[in-house]
Structures are given as structure tokens and as C-alpha cells.
Structure 1
Amino acid sequence: MDSSPVHLPEIQRLSALDSYQIFDTEAEAEFDELASLASTICNVPIALITFIDSERQSFKSHHGTDMTENKRELSFCTHTIASSEEIMIVADARLDKRFADNPVVTGPAQIAFYAGVPLINEDGFALGTICIFDQQPHTITQVQISALKTLAKQVIDKLELRRKIRQLEKTNQDLLNSNVLIQKFASMAAHDIKNPLSNILLSSQALKIRHEKQQYEGCLKLIDLSISSTHGLLNLVNEMLEYSKSPSSLLANKQHFSLSSLIKKITGMLLIPKGIKITFSEEKQELYMSLIALDQIILNLVNNAIRYNDKEEGFVDIRFKQDETYYNLEIEDNGIGIAEENFEKIFLPNITLGQTDRSNNKGTGIGLSIVKDLVSALNGSISVKSTPGTGTTFFVAIKK
């Protein structure tokens, strides 16, 4: 028995086969009917619709046999998909050196006749075959050959239609997800704009009041905070405008950036109360992902850690590590904490726990809901560990 021939663009062919999601699927009436029709038209007992991967031949339809698969190296159809011919006919396999010692021929099945038409997709890749078998030497007419080719085209048409429907459904779902996310992102961004605006307002008021005091040492710091917050606000507005033009850019526009630089920019936009210390490693960590998405995730988590810290000596510790698959971020504080029964509730939209922040204001229930949506959109996960009165740690894992 000859070894199976190698189909040259095999990687591309297998990729094309995967795109149809048809290999190793259950029998379906619309394919079974085509196999039955092939058997009837050609007056043979066995007809198959098969697909071939790197090792096996799977029978999508099997008329006249209970077999559902075969080893690729024993498959007649492997030769068919490797051939440039429109149909491969083996009148008597017992006399063909390629198949004479094949177990399908010499074993209980005692196959003698074979004819197969390759199932060639619109890109020119042979995915499998529609084929017929008989235990007796056989011939088929030109009319029967034409009928087999027509049936093969019908199989491919069904596959292409299904694939296009799946692609359309995915496109529609992506569009729906983008529309939902843009609405939530707009709410979150508007919420986040308050922070730099508040910083600008407070620092400007303080500068105005203290301007009369000569040699006031804090003026330069307040001016720097005002400038930093203004730049942060302008950048956020520019990102929002860009995102409004193309919602998919929030996640699709990936770039290389330094995590420590991003954290410095974020903390520079926040008005950090006296007594609150933010710590993070300044070790250079290069990430490749959506910068604006991670910006919003960290900004919201750090801002919440500051707002809901009731300690005279408070801290927010930002930790980062990565492995081959994930970026892992931890944000720990020693604030008011969250009761365990509320761990899932805090990520729901418009849900607040009735807690007040350092300025005695209540939250809106927007921030953490959007953070969870962003993390999920990045193929990641977020969880929380907390003890009331002691502090909270958020764990974010984002797939690379």
C-alpha cells in the first residue's frame, strides 16, 4: 500500500477546514440526503461525505455503512484531495497498487470500487470529498460523474452559507458589544473627567486665595498639579473623541508602553489627600495592549482606593507581574473594605453600597461596572479580596 500523498499547502488547508467548524460534528439530515442521493444516482450501496484533517478522515454522512471515521493513511479520499483531477475513479482497487493491500480492500469491508469528488472551497482548498463505494468492480457514466460534481458543489454551497452566516452573526454581535461598551465608556469617562476638573478648580481657588501671601512655598506644587490635571483632561477628551469615531479602537488599538509611566500619569491627575501614600514599582515593565483601556481600569481602581480610605495613614499599593499568558495587576489599600456578601454586587451597574467617601459623598455605581466590562472585553478577569475596616485588594488578570 502506498503511503498517503502530502497535500502541499497543508497548513492553509487545515486552517480553512477549521473555519467551517464541520469536522467531527454530528450527522445532519441535509447532508445525509445528499449522500443518499449520490448512492441512488450511481447505483452503489455506499456513499460518504467526508472531511480530512492531519490524521483522520471524519464522515459527516455515511450512507450504507456504520463507520464514522477512518485513518488518513488508509483513506482513498486522501489521494483524491491531493490530486488535481475533478474526480478520482478506482474501478477495481484490488488491481491498483496504491490500494491493493489496503485493509479497507483486504479486510471485512472488501471494497473494490471507489469514486470521489473533492470538496473544494472558494479559496481552492480541498476540505474532503463526496464519494461512493462498491464491493464489486464498477464503472459510472458521464451523467453520474456530472451528478456527483453537482452534489459536491451543493455540499460546498451549504458550508459557505453557514460560514458566512456565522461571520455575519459575529459581526453583528461585535457591533452590539461596541455600542453597549461605548455607552458605558461615555458614562465612565464623564465620571472620570470630574477628578481632573475638581483638581483644577481646587488648585486654582487655592492659588487665588494664597496669591496674596508672598513666598508661599506650596504655590509651585499647586500650579504643577493644575497643569498636570489639565493635560490629563485634554488627553482623556482626545481619546474619547477618537473612540467616538471608531468604538473598536478602544480595544483594537494596541501599543507598547511603560506601566510605571502610565501609573505616574494617572497619579499625577489625582488629588491625593495628605496621609495617603501610593506605592508602585518603578521597574521598567513594557506592556502591549490597549493603553486607553488599562488607563481607565487603573484610574478607577486607584481613585476608589483613595476615596474610600478612612485611615489617617492610608496607602494604595500597586503591584504587577506577568507570565507567558497574562498580565497580572493587584491594587491593595487599607481603606474601609467591603463585606464578602457584596463582592459580586459591586461589579453590577448602578449598584452602590451606601458608603460615603472621604468627602462624605456617595458613589454612583458606575466605575467598577465599567472596569469589569473593560477587563472582560480584554479577555481578562477581575476579583476582589477584602475585610471590612481593614482594606481591599483587587486582582486583575488580562490575557496577552
Structure 2
Amino acid sequence: MISIYPDHEENRLAALNSYNILDTANEKDFDDLTILASAICQTPIAFISLIDDKRQWFKSRKGISESETPIDVSFCVHTIASNNDIMIVEDANKDERFAENPLVKGEEKITFYAGVPLINEDGFALGSLCVVDQKQKQLTDEQTVALKIIAKQVVDKLELRKKAIELEMVNKELIKSNLFIQKFASMAAHDIRNPMSSILLTAQSMKARMQKLGDAKYEELVDININSTKRLMVLLDDMLAYSKTPALLLTQKETINLSELLMTVTGMINVPVNFNIQLPAENYLLTVSAVALQQIFINLLTNAIRYNDKTQGEVNIRFNQDDEYYYFEIEDNGIGIAMEYYEKIFNNNFTLNIVDRYDKKGSGIGLSTVKEIIKSLQGKISVNSIIGQFTTFYISLPR
């Protein structure tokens, strides 16, 4: 018996194994194509053969009981090694390659064989679609074309099946990641809440003491501490809820007062004494995800402060709206951004490799996070800037 192995066999086997299909159960989609090939070619036997290093295994078969045969008696090995789009043996008894084959001389009495290689998108022949008869036979041109078309459908089914498995694995990994994030968020929230609660209780005790002493100035400072801590605890609850149900970022919309939300945000960040943040003059009511909008402004305002080299820092927040969108402009008088970086600054982990006012380099996470949040809200963000003069971020969010 002559055994022929195709070139690049190691890579071909790796490609075959990537489909995770060997020794799997019958699937109707493949069985239907096998039956169709048998009917069109008028043969009692048809099968979809996948060939590894020791055997040809039948993903689907009609007219035979075996689920696999040894590779050294396989007709299909010749098919995938031939570099032809179809291999036809009209009478195996007269073909020196197969005349002494046990499948020809034995009970199976294979006489006619036609096989089309199953070539994947990377050019590897994984096996073949075959039709077999126990008598001498010829295929018409129409049958030959049909068999090639069916083989292409088999390959398409293999690719779809592979992609479905890959997507399922990705989905499982995402579920595992989300569970980890939820667990981590719960632990972090617990660890953060305890000291924050202690800070709040301490501040409230200090306030009671200041009231008794009649020290209005220190009482005012303590009030700032109390209010900031309360706002942080509310934000912590919101972010914890989001970590458990990410869809809340999109679905949990509420009517908020823009000025109040921005006041809350400015109370959460460290605003230097030489900084002026100008808020919109009117009290606009917006229906949005408050936690998402807070995160957007926390990131943008923090960047505006960090990357400002002026004696007097200025940030101007403007707002407008129409029937379809909310429009925000956040302009600062900081160091500016060169035009060639307008798109890159929103890429994850991209930085301009400069230090901020505190002599620290950025991580490249903030603006990419902002863009992802805005994208999730079906909104858009862009930037315009002049080095050394100003930077303006433009945001539009659907109402």
C-alpha cells in the first residue's frame, strides 16, 4: 500500500486540531450535505472525511458503518496530497495505487471513488468530501461541479462551527472576567467604605465639637469634609452597582441638574487655589446616566488641571442642546495638544510622554476610558487645540 502525506503536515495537523471537531457527535448540517452528495452523484456511499496523523475519521457518513479507518488504506490521503480540486478513480482495481488496497480486495469492494479536498481559508486540506460505489462509474460534468460546490459548503460549515466555538470561549472568559470584576469591586467597596465611614463619623464629631466651641470657620471646613465624603460614598455605591450590572451605564438614566452634577464632580477632585472652573450659568435638566457623565467630567477636568502650566488656570464648561443631542464643550488654557495626536490620545495606553504639574506621567487610560463610555452611550467626542494656548473637547450625547 502506498501512503502519501501532504507537504507541511505539521501545520496542517495544527490547523485541523484548531477546529476541535475530531471525535464529535453527528451534526445534521454535515449529514444533510453528505446525503445531498450521495443523491446528486447517485452513489450508495458518501462521507465527510477528516484526516489526522493516524486515521481518516468520518464526521458524517452514509452507507458505511465504520466511524474511521486507518490512514494507510485511505483514498482521501491521496486526495488531499494531489493538489487537484477533485480526485476521481473510476475503477480502483485498475489503479496501481489502490489495486491491492484491503478496501478494494475485501468485503467493501470499493471500485469507484471521487473526492474533493476540504481546503480551509489558510490553504490547508483538512480532509475530503467523498462519494463511493462498488461498481465502475463516471461522473457527469454537472455532478462534478455539484460535488465541488457541496465540498465548499462543508468547509463553510467547518469555519462557522469553529467561529461559534471561539465566540463561546470568549464569552465564557468574559463571564469569568465580569465575575472577577464584581468580586473585586465588592471587596474594594468594602475596603474603601470602612475608612470613609470612619472619616465621616470623625468629621461629624469634630463638627459637634466646633459648634460647642462656636468656631464657625473650622465648622465650615468640617462641613466641606462631610459633604465630600458623602458624595464619594454615593459615587462608590453607583460604581459598585455598575460593576454588578454593566448595562446600568446605558439603561439607568435619570433626570439630573447639570450644575449640581458638575458641583459634585468639582467637589470630588483636587482643584488648586489658582484654578477657576466656570460652569454653565443656567440650571439645565438632563436625562442621562449620571454615573457615566460624572466619570466623563472627572477624567476631563482632572486632565485639564494636571496639564496646565499657567499662573491662573481656567476651565470653561459650556452646554447646548437641540431636539436630538446634548452638546458639551470643555475648554482649558493649558499646554495644548498637537494636531497629529488628536486621534491617538483616545487610544488605550497612549501618552504624550510628558509630566504634569505634579511631575508625574500619565497612564494613557483616562481619555480612552472617556471615549469608551461616550461610545457606549452612542455619543461622540473630538478635540481642538493650539499648543500653549487652549484645548477644547467637544462631546455630543443623544437625548
Query: Structure 2 length as normaliser, TM-score?
Result: 0.48
- Greater C-alpha radius of gyration: 2
